[in-house]
Amino acid sequence: EGRQMIVNIIDHWSLHDALPVPEASLPLELPAVKSYQPTGTGESPLAAIPDWVDIWYDAATGHAVPASAERPAPHYVRARRETNTMPQWAGSCWYYLRYLDPKNDAAIAAPEALKYWGGPDLYVGGAEHAVLHLLYARFWHKVLFDLGVVPTPEPFTKLFHQGIILGEDGEKMSKSRGNVANPDDIIRSHGTDTLRLYLMFLGPLEAMKPWNPSGIEGVHRFLHKIWRECLGADGRPNAKLSADVSATPADLAKLLHETIKKVGEDIEGLRYNTAISAMMIFVNAWQKAPAIARRDALAFLQLLAPFAPHIAEELWARVGGTDIAPSAGSAPWPAYDPAKLVATEQKVVVQVNGKKRAELLLPVGAAEADAVAAAQAHAEVAPHLAGKQIKRIIYVPGKILNIVAA
């Protein structure tokens, strides 16, 4: 073990002194045993290995032999190795720094690496970590800052507390309550991607969410729908996919760019459930479209990849995405065109004498006369106006057209 160890010197069966092991004698190797069993006393499992714990010790060199052996020389003293030299949180309190320079044998990390990489931008953990790992990591980091080891006084830039998933009974999952859901069962029956999507689709990341197995089928069908839209029954690219970049209908192209914007912003904001909702809306529209440009289908697979990476990468390869990049995850994130987000048409609900009769798609800013003419020509509105005189018109552009007729 590479960290500094303490040896307790025993004189007449009482603690006489506690000494650090000389650096030259490090690393101190742990004993080779078949298993480490708990002691039942609260001590480390090492405490139950007397030939390693109880020793004859040379304080000058750090050399030691088991106490059960003969005393090697008069200057050797009876000693007992300390078996709990650091709290159990020691390693996890600074491991994020070691990632920056893991092979450095002279320091936690080189000053250049610490300055270049900085600390983690985001710390995601449950609220219970606030008084455990998070608090201890801050303590350690502040001490290292005071010592001049790290350049920043705080270890983490942003903190986000995730919620917990409750059992079907609405209580916190616990083996004692018998309400634990085994993810391995879902992976075997529906696959890893379905499980990932389901967990993210349950609700806001910060909220407590009850486990509901019936919801798993919904996201599973969603993935199947994407598969069918990308591939035909023969496993080859769907005939709807076109090399023509203009093959995507205008309304579907607009929706794709809206989805790219929405998913990108939601990922940044950790709003995974609403990102998945946006992708579901797009796939429903895609399913109804007569064709889609292969380029646009691949852009959607890039949006899907962070959420369902296995199926996204499989489809990326089969549809021909490797012509662009080796994987969906390595391709540049798709950019949305702001011009395509500008609405050119608006839905207007048409009422006759207060009852809804139809919905019209009118150009943005359509005049009242144009809206009335479109309503009069609509097959579902015309019969309710036949032989009647229009008495009053209430028109709110982009929302409602109410025609009062008698």
Residue 396 forms beta bridges with which residues?
400
pLDDT of 2 above 50: no
Residue for token pair 């004498």:
353
pLDDT digits (tens, 9 = 90+) for 19-56: 888 888 888 888 888 877 888 887 888 888 999 999 99
Tokens of 344: 């050119």
In 10 A of CB 400, how many CB atoms?
15
Instruction: Give the 3-state secondary structure of residue 73.
Output: coil
pLDDT bucket at 236, cuts 50 / 70 / 90: very high
pLDDT of residue 30: 85
> Which pLDDT score, from 0 to 100, does residue 345 have?
81
Q: What is the pLDDT of residues 266-298, one digit of tens each?
A: 999 999 999 999 999 999 999 999 999 999 999
Q: How far apart are CA 187 and CA 40, in angstroms?
A: 37
pLDDT computed for residue 154 by the predictor: 94
Closest by Cα among 227, 243, 197, 215 to 300: 227
Report the pLDDT value the prediction gives residue 198, as an integer from 0 to 100.
94
pTM: 0.70
Residues in contact with 150: Cβ distance below 8 Å, sequence separation at least 6, in sequence order: 97, 108, 114, 141, 144
**Mean pLDDT in the chain?**
90
Q: CB of 404 within 8 A of CB of 393?
A: yes
For residue 334, pLDDT over 50 is answered with yes
The mean pLDDT of 334-356, rounded to a whole number, is: 90
| Structural element, H or E, at residue 397 | none
Alpha carbons 382 and 357: distance in angstroms, whole number: 10
